[in-house]
Structure 1
Amino acid sequence: MPSPITKKGYDALKAELDRLRKVERPQVIEAIAEARSHGDLSENAEYDAAKERQGFIESRIAEIETKLADARVVEIAGRTSDTVVFGATVSVIEQETRSKRQYTLVGQDEADMKFNRISIQSPVGRALIGKRVGDFVEVTTPAKMVEYEVVEIRFEEL
C-alpha cells in the first residue's frame, strides 16, 4: 500500500539517498581499504568500525529505496478540505487545560515534534483524521485520556 508523503519529505529522502550513495559509501570504502592496509584484521578496531558503518549505510540505502518505491507524493499547496486529511494543519484546544495546540499531519518519516509535525499513524493523528471544525476527539496517552476540540483546519506549504 502506498505511503503518503509531502513533496518536501520525498525530496529530503532523495537527498539523503544521494548523499549516502555518492559521499558516505565511497568514504567508508576508502576507510576499509585504509584499515586493511594496517595488516592483521583480527584486532583492527578501525576496520571493525568501518565495516559496521558500511553495514549501516547499506541498510539505510535499502530502507530509503523501499520507502521511495512505496511513496505517494501528496501535494499540499492550494488544497482545501472540510475534514482533517493528510497534510492538514489542525488547531485544537485541549479541553482540560484550554491550551491551544497546532499539529500538521505528515508521513511517518516527516514527523518532528519540534515543528509540530505528527505522523498520521500516531494516536493523535489517527484520532484527528476525518474530523471537522467543532468535532471533539479523545486520545489515550500513556498518562491519561486527553480530549481536544478541532477549531481550525488549513493547508500551508511545509
Structure 2
Amino acid sequence: MRAVWISALSTLALGVGLFCYLAPLDPGVLALQFAFTPRSFGQIVHFWSPADLARYRSHLPADFAFLFAYGLFGYLLATRTDVAAARAPAFRRVLSWLLPVAACFDAIENALHWWLTEMPRFGVAPLYAASGAASSLKWLLAFGFGLMLAYAAYRAEDD
C-alpha cells in the first residue's frame, strides 16, 4: 500500500507543479494537445513568445516523470488495493492497464511535441495528426480509468 501512496503523492506533486509552471501560457497546453494540423499547431506556437515556447519545451522532461508517475499509480491502485476486488478479474485487468497505456500515448505526444516545437516543420502533417491522436487517446483512456474507478466504488457501496 505504501507504493500506491508514494505514486499518488508523486503524481499529485508533479501534476500541480506542471500546472503552475505552464499556467502563464495562453493559449494553454490543452489547446496544443488537440492541434491536429500544422496550421492549428503553428497558430498556437506562434502566438507564444520565445520565452513561452522555451517554457513549454523545458517542461517536457518533468512531464515524462509525471506520465511515469500516473501510469504507475494507475497500475498499483488497480492491482494492490481492493478498489476493484469485487469486480471480475477482467475488470481489474483492464483497469490496471488504462493509465499505463495512457502514459505511453502521452510519451508519444511529448516526443512529437519536442520535435515539432524545435523549429518550424512543414510537410509532416501526419505527425501533427499523430500527436493530436496520441493526446486524444491519452485523455480517453484517463477518462475511462476515472469512469471505471467510479463504477467500482459505486458497486462496492452496493455490496
Note whether the superposition's TM-score is higher than 0.5: no
**What TM-score, normalized by structure 1, do the two folds share?**
0.33
**What TM-score, normalized by structure 2, do the two folds share?**
0.33
Higher helix share: 2
